[in-house]
Amino acid sequence: MENPLHVQATATPASLPSRPPDPCSLVLFGATGDLAQRKIVPALYNLALGGDLPSPFALVGTSTSIGDASAYRQRLRESVARFSRTQPLDEAVWSRFAPLVDTVAADVNAAGDWARLRERVLAVEAQRGSGGNRLFYFAVPPSAFGPILGGLRDSGLLYAPQQAPWSRVVIEKPFGRDLESARELHRLVGGLLDESQSFRIDHYLGKETVQNILVLRFGNSIFEPLWNRKYVDHVQITMAEQIGVERRGKFYDANGVVRDVVQNHLLQVLALVAMELPPTFGADDIRDEKQKLLRSLRVPSPEDVVFGQYRGYREAEGVSPASRTPSYVALRLHVDNWRWQGVPFYIRSGKALARRTTEVSIHFQQIPFCLFGREDVCQLIEPNVLVLRIQPDEGIALSVATKVPGEDLTVGSVHLDFSYADAFHREAGEAYEKLLLDAMRGDATLFARRDGDEQAWSLVTPLLQAWEASRAEPAFYDSGSAGPPEAAVFMRRDGRRWRPLIAPR
């Protein structure tokens, strides 16, 4: 029996105001691409809407085919009206935001175009008075990183590290496709940028519930004493998508689910869930602890994984008719340290599943002894589960056992539940809004560091190599299902079961 009990939250004075972002110019490479249109520019508009955009500020969009500023602004207006989380478009805010946008057509592989890009950036800085601070955003494939970094250096647009004004670079994933290619990219970036200038963005780390993991753990004395092998039976991390590969068939078929979301998003979330308390909440102290945790993860064996593929995947545009690329993975991981020894961490992610949901669930151990007179009653009592909902309804729920009113001893389960939107009467901001602000502030807490990224690759690369060298077929599953049946069997062998892919409430 299950009943929801919603809770009301109130803000407390125990808060540290964020430092305002520095005035700057944002130079957006790949400005006509899908990421810029759907995520980056709508996030900047939302920051302007909330009064959080730095002042002064300028956006310089560049690509080979961007056209003049007026045409690009109109294109952005349509994108913002469609993809911004705040609807409808606020005409007054847009009228203030649009003039901040400028463009320059440039081919990053053409040496002559860099002079034109430099001239436009300097002109915009002089016009807007942004102080010379520059944030370069690479919304481009990794193959373009080298030409862009070399062009920034040779054109003089890139400042030396720890210099005022500053220059920083935001780099989008995928950052490599295995350990060796990731190291090669890191060597390339490290040869031209100091680590303090490198911001490897993982938008999942900007989500409200992901940020709240550390506050929940270390800000509540009722949880941290239980956050270990003595009280936790296992942990599940789920990222389920309803959609298939859609228009990303060519990209997805070359990468698959592990490279797309496990190596980055889900291992970063696991590290936050399982890491030790950092000495401070400074960026490097937090990332040091995440790195220690990732180093403690045991490399999984083939018995620890189920690769799946939804029926119809091979018919998608850009996908090979004989593709073995997995669109689903179920993975069992072990953390070999004092806190977590013997506690399995289960990760599952897939496309074309029954529901869209991303969550972390902490499953506590079964009660050790029957106190209620009948053994069958104890068998019905579900263990406590703490669920951190990352999307779509960001929030937290805790299930607890309680007696159902009446003469019989009937035990039910009640969920203490809150969502950010309901409890604080405001929507959680989009991840890109938070991460863009942090990059402007120089706060790298929510960005991946080189050593952590390489450690994550060292964990999954052997698994990917073994799969790609084999001739095995993936476990097939129907679109709209919970995934391949083999994944359920995988859990039953451990005496456990996946949380159902329930619809958002």
In this structure, the answer to whether residues 358 and 442 fall within a common structural domain is yes
pLDDT in tens, 2-42: 455 555 555 454 445 567 888 999 999 999 998 999 999 99
In this structure, the answer to whether residues 149 and 271 fall within a common structural domain is no
Q: Is residue 380 part of a domain?
A: yes
Range of weakest confidence among 326-330, 356-360, 403-407, 434-438: 403-407
Range of weakest confidence among 13-27, 85-99, 137-151: 13-27
Q: Which domain holds residue 407?
A: 205-492
| Res 407 pLDDT > 70 | no
In this structure, the answer to whether residues 226 and 86 fall within a common structural domain is no
Residue 130, pLDDT score: 72
What are the phi and psi torsion angles at 406 (to 5°)? 140, 175
As to burial, measured by CB atoms within 10 angstroms (0-12 exposed, 13-18 middle, 19+ buried), residue 270 is: buried
| Res 391 pLDDT > 90 | no
Residue 428, pLDDT score: 62
| Res 308 pLDDT > 90 | yes
Residue 13, pLDDT score: 44
Average pLDDT over every residue of 211-217: 86
Q: Is residue 237 part of a domain?
A: yes
pLDDT in tens, 414-451: 788 887 777 666 666 688 999 999 999 999 988 989 99
Average pLDDT over every residue of 399-421: 74
Average pLDDT over every residue of 234-251: 93
8 A C-beta contact, residue 182 and residue 175: yes
Give the 3-state secondary structure of 112-123.
Answer: HHHHHHHHHHHH
Six-digit token string for 227 = 């956050």
Average pLDDT over every residue of 316-323: 96
pLDDT-based confidence at 410, cuts 50/70/90?
A: low
Instruction: Measure the CA–CA gap between 440 and 421, rounded to whole angstroms.
Output: 26
Q: What is the CATH number of the domain that holds 485?
A: 3.30.360.10
Instruction: Measure the CA–CA gap between 441 and 444, rounded to whole angstroms.
Output: 9
Q: What is the CATH number of the domain that holds 94?
A: 3.40.50.720
Give the 3-state secondary structure of 115-145.
Answer: HHHHHHHHHHHHHHCCCCCEEEEECCCHHHH
Residue 279, pLDDT score: 92
In this structure, the answer to whether residues 38 and 146 fall within a common structural domain is yes
Range of weakest confidence among 130-144, 200-214, 276-290: 200-214
- DSSP code string of 148-179: HHHHHHHHT-SPPTT-SS-EEEEEPSP--SSH
State which of 154, 173, 192 marks the end of a domain. Answer: 173
Q: What is the pTM of this model?
A: 0.89
Mind telling me the catalytic residues? 265
| Res 367 pLDDT > 90 | no
State which of 173, 195, 217 marks the end of a domain. Answer: 173
Residue 502, pLDDT score: 53
In this structure, the answer to whether residues 165 and 216 fall within a common structural domain is no
CA 413 → CA 63, 153, 232, 381, distances in Å? 55, 61, 18, 8
Q: Is residue 11 part of a domain?
A: no
In sequence order, which residues have a C-beta less than 8 Å from that of residue 361 and are 6 or more positions away?
235, 236, 237, 238, 385, 386, 387, 388, 499
Instruction: Measure the CA–CA gap between 284 and 189, rounded to whole angstroms.
Output: 19
Q: Is residue 15 part of a domain?
A: no
| Res 199 pLDDT > 60 | yes
| Res 504 pLDDT > 60 | no
Residue 436, pLDDT score: 94
In this structure, the answer to whether residues 257 and 315 fall within a common structural domain is yes
pLDDT-based confidence at 399, cuts 50/70/90?
A: confident
Residue 374, pLDDT score: 59
Average pLDDT over every residue of 197-210: 83
Residue 78, pLDDT score: 93
In sequence order, which residues have a C-beta less than 8 Å from that of residue 48 and are 6 or more positions away?
93, 96, 97
Q: Which residue is it, tokens 């709209």? A: 480
Residue 203, pLDDT score: 82
In sequence order, which residues have a C-beta less than 8 Å from that of residue 409 and are 6 or more positions away?
372, 373, 374, 377, 403
Q: Is residue 192 part of a domain?
A: no
134-138 and 198-200 strand pairing: unpaired
What is the CB neighbour count within 10 angstroms for residue 127?
Answer: 11
